[in-house]
Structure 1
Amino acid sequence: MTVPRLAIATRNAHKVDEIWAILAPHLPGVERHDVASAIDLDAPSPVEDGVTFEANALIKARALAAASGMPAIADDSGIAVDVLGGAPGVFSARWAGSHGDDAANLALLLDQVGDVPDEHRGAQFVCAAALATPDGGDVVVLGRMPGRLVRAPRGEGGFGYDPIFVAEGEEVTNAELSPERKNEISHRGAAFRALGPHVAAVLGLR
């Protein structure tokens, strides 16, 4: 039985696959089976009571590193809408009240900006990616993806607010992009590519 070398603090299978696809090129010799999610490890979920993406990412990474005894990575991400003063922000996953209800969150946000003209529908996805080790070391980096909100969901891919967000320079929503293209330009892609060398160093790969 393979013993994991790295833990990912998420219970979202889509996110595990996305993070691994981004990190893999930075981790030579590390295979997908060397990585375990919070579900694989049956780890408890910490209270995410930070008021910034960075704080919540560190809370999750530190908690999983302590629980698993191995290096752990986590992210906290969301969408920040210009006309809402940066909201939903850290409340993106529970904007409609129930954590992780993507359809309700998306519908509420669309309703809130329903009367906003197209030229003022600017938004950005933000991601804080954190690495924590059992000995108390940690690092956190930020990635951003600017763009705009469309008026109705489009596409079957992605998750969360992807169906209503068109990234700067693109003509289709994140949910219509290929996974590879999305990882190239996404906030999560930028954050975890920046974190990759730190993870490699912790795992003794450089």
Structure 2
Amino acid sequence: MYSKERAQQITKNDVKFIPAGIQENVALKSARVAESPTGRKFFEVVFEKNGATLTQTEWKPDNKNGQLSDEDVQRKEDNQFSRIMQLLICFYKDEELVFNGTNFEEFAKEVVDYLNKADKSKLLRVKIVYNDKGYTTLPSYAKYTFIEPMILPEGQTSAITELRIDNFTKPVVADVETPVANPGPSESISISPTVEAAVENNAENPYGLPF
């Protein structure tokens, strides 16, 4: 039985996300070290503005099954460290930041410890962009400023500017088509994921047609 009363009792749990753009008065909320179900190490930093959030995930640089050289992996690590320093320097002086980590796990723990001890009343100016999967994130580059304190030293102006490489518009991510073998001898066709699911769930009427 369908019931309007029961349906209206379901509590909505909408999540508000900070939109892309150069956002002001953003607060650092929390940070933590974690591990994905597949065993990949990462740490995440949560920002908040007017009840909306941005969760920034920093993964352990991946060597892609050994395809990258040691120099390539080192460049990834250096880029990640430089990006995180932009955030930390919003709360600490350079001489206060002492790192002893020899691997990602130790580095992540140090970063999270610093962030969780930071003065979270200090608000930030943050550049938020879309990645190629359509999710909001901090920029992946290190050589341009993307985060800074709202209150800058006297005489200093904001270094954050919109760049041509910044994507402030959510990209359209197309469905991935799955090739399916044709009964014919040499041809093939592609069907959408929606139709593919129908084929798996209803072999007698694969396209879900009413006749």
Give TM-score scaled by structure 2 length: 0.21
Structure ID, larger Rg: 2
TM-score by length of 1: 0.22
The structure that is strand-richer by fraction is 2
